[in-house]
Structure 1
Amino acid sequence: MRVAVLSLIETSHPAQAAGVPATVPAGLRGYLPIGGRSLLRHQIGLALSLGAKRVVVMAEGISGELVALQHVVEAGGAQFHVVATARALVPLLAPEDDVIVVGDGLIAMPDVFRDLIEAGPCVLTLPAENALPLGFERIDINHAFAGAMRFQGRIAAGLADLPPEWNAQSALLRLAVQARLPLRGVSAAMLGDGRWTMVRSEQEAHTAERQWLRLHTASGGSAEGSPGVLLAMAFVRRFGPAMLHAGTRPALIGLAAGILGLLGLGLGWLGNAATGFLLIGLSWLVERVASLMGQVERDSLLASGLERRTVALFHLLVDAGLIALAAWRSELPYTSAIPFGLNWFAPILLIGGARLVRLALPRFPRSAWLEDRLAFGLVLAIASITLPFDAAIGVAVLTLLGTCLLLLQFGTTPATDRSPNPQLTSRP
């Protein structure tokens, strides 16, 4: 059985000015909030993602938050225990158990932690000169304990011989080192970019929270992202912590996006197409914010977040809304000489063509802009006010399809599509 041992013992350093005595009592380090959830909640999510079937928290007593966390653990299919002393931990760790220990106050990127800990039993270490000033515990002259280790449960049997006042995690570290567990290094670079952080105070929690949010909203293609995506990312990084601390969940933001879209459709039906286009574009932007918030919750193992199918369905509804508004805005007369539904034809070609070109040229620079419905809504609103609308839609369709054909015919192949060993590739 895989067992996770967490800690809720260490107190946090109260935020205060230099040289001024603290007036606010220090709380427990594990309760410091990151993204609206406690550090201990983050560690529990990490433990459950690693397949832990038993979660043991070292704490001096039961609190309301611990009871809430117990429900989270049990909902994840694991057992939950709270023990106060190192000796009380011994009966919960069978000799054959696979034990993972996570240090008090440690927050790490889940993928980094998983790669390091799943490589086998070990004590994770950091260079002492980098880690000691940041609150990590020394192992020897060169190494500091990185706040996590993995070992067989039989190593913990030595806790029964120690005095009850000993810190359980420090004692487990000494026992693991004495058992000659291999030391596995964590890159010191992770300390600077937020992928591996020991949080000791509220001020450090605020700093770690900004880094945590930046890492979870980072995108490999963000440099080529569309204006709407970049705007949504900037909004989440700026206001995301406040929304998370206020308990604003992605589903609530998604509901606001849906309401904006309905308002846009209503205004378009009443004849105010330009405002309708803008509101539907804004609804797409708000949905992007909700999706990013959901991505943060999924990646940090706090919640399931928004489902991809729901997001894809919303995008289809946004496209349908833009098509409907464009059809209602059309200036084609409703006469018997004009086939029924002709005013829908060009808008369907425009939106459908944008989706098709994005699929046909997925790696071409700026092709992501074709998914940006905020930009689409803004352009359509401007065209609705300043240009002959039907002619503008027709020109846009021809431009889109013509550009796609030219790029497919004469465009250069992206470097990623070339052979990794061109000198070994046969030539005709």
Structure 2
Amino acid sequence: MKAADELLVIADGLAFDEDLAAEHLDGGKTVLTLTAEKAIPEGFERIDREFAWAGIMLANGSLVERLAEMPSDVDPQSSLLRLALQSGTKTGAVPDSAVSDHRWTVLRNRNVLQAFEVNWLNGAFSPARPIAPVSALADYAGLAVLKRHSHPIKAARAAGGLGYALAAIALLSGYFGYAAVGFVLAAIAAFAFRFGSAIFSILNGRVARTGARRVLKVLPGLLLEAALIALAWYSVEASERVPALFAIVILLALLRLAAEWQRTHGFPEMRDMFEDRGVIGIILAIGVLVGQLVPVIQVFAALVMLVLLFQTYSSRITRA
């Protein structure tokens, strides 16, 4: 390692908020600290009477050369910490609240690990509310698998593959005259897609950083909607296909519009409901079974429109 290089040191067993760490290291070489009174009982290493090491530092790479000159039985982390402080590396204080709310901790026992896990999951992912039952069930299933499965990414990919397969089988079912079965399969596909998406969202973050990831993120939803449109077309007599096509397209467009309105106006519960394509599949399957698919779609679309109108009107009154 060259002297001009930067050395990032993270203490053994440290679990921390990445955004908070990046914020404090943004200014360059820094030793992060906590107040000793708060940190020492939590397992952090003492620096002096007032401060403890927060477990992260960004220092000069030349410290490695100086560490190599020390006896082989010294503790590398503690020695690097002392060398960094002796060389004049500045300190940056991590707020004590980060320790109190389990965003910054040393994983010294199972209870601490569980507290950090709960806090991390709450910050990384918000499961759908029960008002969107299929999405909520998929989200909580994803959380359960994430906690217990040794390879959650594999489980998420398998669920995604299953979703695509079910969507294809749903289309074939509609084509061969089993539209109700097709709608149910589309609902199960929606569950599978949401399950995989929940795991990926937690592990990789909500933001799709590349164009390919953005496409893969929206593709399942588009495929499901295409399947629902095709199933609506196949499920009615030839004379009713145009009204059915028009009704399902309007319904899906209204659902997208309603979900976007909830996103911009801060109603996540309602947004979850409008984005739950699994529920749509189940409702449309019932419509097929009772022989009233087009009226069911029309009534559903009217209800969504009424909700949008009511919320828009209420929002204007509130602003006034």
- Alignment TM class, shorter chain as reference: 0.7 to 0.9
The match for 1:106 among 14, 18, 22 is 14
Shift of 1:326: 2.0
What amino acid is aligned across from residue 175 of structure 1 in structure 2? Answer: L
What amino acid is aligned across from residue 347 of structure 1 in structure 2? Answer: I
Q: Does 1:308 align with 2:211?
A: no
SS class of match (1:307): helix
Q: Does 1:182 align with 2:86?
A: no
* Structure 2 equivalent of residue 345 of structure 1: 246
Report Cα offsets for 1:120-177 as digits up to 9, x if no partner: 3221112323333333211122322111112233455543542221112111111222
Matches within 5 A, 1:87-102: 92=1, 94-102=2-10
Matches of 1:291 and 1:403, distance apart in 2: 27
* Bigger shift: residues 250-259 or 361-370: 361-370
The match for 2:230 among 295, 310, 324 is 324
The match for 1:259 among 147, 165, 186 is 165
What amino acid is aligned across from residue 160 of structure 2 in structure 1? Answer: G
SS class of match (1:411): helix
TM-score by length of 1: 0.63
TM-score by length of 2: 0.82
What amino acid is aligned across from residue 252 of structure 2 in structure 1? Answer: I
Q: Does 1:355 align with 2:240?
A: no
Shift of 1:270: 3.9
* Structure 2 equivalent of residue 381 of structure 1: 285
The match for 1:397 among 288, 301, 317 is 301
Q: Which runs of 4+ in 1 moved over 6 A?
A: none
The match for 2:78 among 170, 173, 178 is 170
The match for 1:130 among 34, 38, 45 is 38
Matched positions, count: 315
Matches of 2:240 and 2:194, distance apart in 1: 38
What amino acid is aligned across from residue 101 of structure 1 in structure 2? Answer: V
Matches of 2:52 and 2:126, distance apart in 1: 29
The match for 1:411 among 308, 314, 320 is 314
Q: Structure 1 or 2: larger helix share? A: 2
Q: Flag structure 2 segments of 5+ consecutive residues without an equivalent.
A: none
Shift of 1:390: 1.9
* Structure 1 equivalent of residue 204 of structure 2: 298
Q: Aligned in 2, Cα 1:134/1:407: closer, same or farther, shift over 3 Å?
A: closer
% identity of equivalent residues = 28
Matches within 5 A, 1:28-107: 92=1, 94-107=2-15
Matches of 1:399 and 1:214, distance apart in 2: 32
Report Cα offsets for 1:258-289 as digits up to 9, x if no partner: 12223333333344433322221221122112
Matches of 2:286 and 2:21, distance apart in 1: 49
* Structure 2 equivalent of residue 370 of structure 1: 274
What amino acid is aligned across from residue 223 of structure 2 in structure 1? Answer: L
Shift of 1:297: 2.6
Counterpart contact for 1:226–1:372, Cα < 8 Å:
yes
What amino acid is aligned across from residue 181 of structure 2 in structure 1? Answer: T
Q: Aligned in 2, Cα 1:359/1:212: closer, same or farther, shift over 3 Å?
A: closer
What amino acid is aligned across from residue 351 of structure 1 in structure 2? Answer: L
Counterpart contact for 2:243–2:294, Cα < 8 Å:
no
SS class of match (2:264): coil
SS class of match (1:240): helix
Cα RMSD between the aligned structures?
3.4
Counterpart contact for 1:156–1:175, Cα < 8 Å:
no
What amino acid is aligned across from residue 358 of structure 1 in structure 2? Answer: A
SS class of match (2:149): helix
Q: Aligned in 2, Cα 1:202/1:144: closer, same or farther, shift over 3 Å?
A: same
